Amino acid sequence: MLLRRFYDESLAQASYLIGCQATGDAIVIDPNRNAEQYEKVAREEGLRITQVSETHIHADYVSGSRELARRTGARLLLSGEGGVDWQYAFAKEDGATLLHDGDEIRVGNIELRVMHTPGHTPEHIVFVVTDTAAADGPMGMVSGDFLFVGDVGRPDLLERAVRQEGTMELAAGQLFDSLQKLGDLPDWLQVWPGHGAGSACGKALGAVPQSTLGYERRFSPALKARERSLFVSTILAGQPEPPKYFAVMKRLNREGPPIRPASVERTLYDLARLDAAVAAGAQLVDVRAAADFAKAHVPGSLNIPLGRSFIGWAGALLDYARPIILLASDIGPAYGARHQLALIGLDQVDGISSASAILESWIAAGRAVGTVKSTDAASLAATSTGDRPRVIDVRAASEWQQGHLPGATHMVLGELAELSATLPHDAPIVVQCAGGSRSAIAASLLQAKGFTNVTNLAGGLGAWRKAGFPVEG
């Protein structure tokens, strides 16, 4: 048996290739849209991908199962559990085999037993893996978003992301029941989860790539819980706001994940072409560092720095129905950003451009560049109460509840575009988060919406607290 884990840092997402070296057969579970990586490893290991499956209808990225099955001619295996509302709409069209609790899949000499584990989602399944050529008991479990290292999958997404009211307590109870199904499995069973630290699919995921069931039984609070109602209240408490794009992912992955489009044209946009694209409704997304953007940028562009948080904020703030033009420091970051956007279905990148080249042309044409002002905690605190600008705190609700600047207004970054409609466009505004990164994005968003007097609080609430200024809680 061969096991390969593929991990995408931008999504904190894991997928797995399990192959039988005796027969050359392999299965890929929970692939993302980067299909080439699985095909490449299969070729290098002398394997052929004969089956493709996934644990559930994903909310945080576009599934690559459908595309990988088509590219390789593999059999597509999808959950048939979850009831009528959570069936894969494209299963019949793609000739998929539907899986149910207790089914067994053979990959050469490897056996994968299907367990239905609802809670995170109604249709969720896991795969208990046995290498029958070497053992008569299971080695590990591909646990998807059911069981993580140190945590379990959050059961509130259907209600909070997909707006299915009244479902999260029911789902939390189902999750408790699903955990009880693990009782007959041995402590040595390895746990191969679908996500690591940084994923929004749980609230306390560990950064270790795998665990054992015995370790989780001993140290994971969720698996130690013995009382159903207490488990339900505890697991629902403190869950972060789900990213806004999760609802889009659920719909795409249930109805039929799109096949990736052809590569974006490599010709860089010049100023004239950029002007025409913006006039036609394109979104300008500058992926440079916040400090570079603050010094000079094309007015009207949204700054989402390329990094680990890029996908989450892009999904929350960009319009899936409008074309995207990427501005970056160089070609490499631009194509890196395009790859990450494709992982969450933002395929409409119509072009890319060098931010410095565009700014040179912009200045040569006699146009004023945009800048972002910043202030520090001492300067803001020194402003008299009557003259102090409105402070907009863009952190999550749980962070706000733990303490905030006196007199601040709370507007979560993911909803700032809508919430800011109540604010006067010419009034002085200071945007603030925990350390200054989210507020930098917020400043660019407000400026793009026509706010003319926006300042970013450098260091955010952390710098404010460190300076000893008062905090309300």
pLDDT greater than 60 at residue 201: yes
The answer to whether 56 and 123 are in contact (CB under 8 A) is yes
Instruction: Provide the pLDDT confidence category of residue 172 given band limits of 50, 70 and 90.
Output: very high
**What's residue 265's pLDDT?**
54
The answer to whether 339 and 365 are in contact (CB under 8 A) is no
**What's residue 263's pLDDT?**
60
Half-sphere exposure of 218 (CA within 13 A, CB side): 8
pLDDT greater than 90 at residue 164: no
Reported for 130-137, long-range contacts at CB under 8 A and 24+ positions apart, including other chains, are 131/1, 133/1, 133/20, 133/22, 133/109, 134/1, 137/186
Q: State the Cα–Cα distance between residues 179 and 113, nearest whole angstrom.
A: 16
Q: State the Cα–Cα distance between residues 76 and 51, nearest whole angstrom.
A: 6
Which tokens belong to 130?
A: 């046995």
Tell me the average pLDDT of the chain.
94
Average pLDDT, integer, range 330-341: 91
Average pLDDT, integer, range 430-446: 97
Length of the chain: 473
pLDDT greater than 80 at residue 407: yes
**What's residue 203's pLDDT?**
80
DSSP lists the bridge partners of residue 28 as 17, 52
Q: Where in the chain is the domain with CATH 3.40.250.10?
A: 271-364, 373-466
Per mean pLDDT, which range of 53-62, 161-170, 183-192, 407-416 is the poorest? Answer: 161-170
pLDDT greater than 90 at residue 98: yes
- Residue 427: CB atoms within 10 A of its CB come to 12
Average pLDDT, integer, range 276-295: 97
Q: What is the pLDDT of residues 219-269, one digit of tens each?
A: 999 999 889 999 999 999 888 888 889 999 999 999 999 887 766 555 678
Q: State the fold for domain 2-255.
A: Metallo-beta-lactamase; Chain A (3.60.15)
Q: What is the pLDDT of residues 112-156, one digit of tens each?
A: 999 999 999 999 999 999 999 999 999 999 999 999 999 999 999
Average pLDDT, integer, range 187-211: 91
Q: What is the pLDDT of residues 41-61, one digit of tens each?
A: 999 999 999 999 999 999 999
CATH number of 373-466: 3.40.250.10
Average pLDDT, integer, range 420-435: 95
**What's residue 387's pLDDT?**
80
Q: State the Cα–Cα distance between residues 473 and 419, nearest whole angstrom.
A: 22
Q: Where in the chain is the domain with CATH 3.60.15.10?
A: 2-255
**What's residue 264's pLDDT?**
52
For 385, residues 6+ apart whose C-beta sits below 8 A from its C-beta are 407
Q: What is the pLDDT of residues 353-377, one digit of tens each?
A: 999 999 999 999 999 999 999 999 9
Q: State the Cα–Cα distance between residues 53 and 64, nearest whole angstrom.
A: 10
Per mean pLDDT, which range of 33-42, 179-188, 197-206, 357-366 is the poorest? Answer: 197-206
Residue 428 or 269, more confident: 428
DSSP lists the bridge partners of residue 409 as 392
CATH number of 271-364: 3.40.250.10
Which of the 8 DSSP states describes residue 414?
G
Q: What is the pLDDT of residues 75-84, one digit of tens each?
A: 999 999 999 9
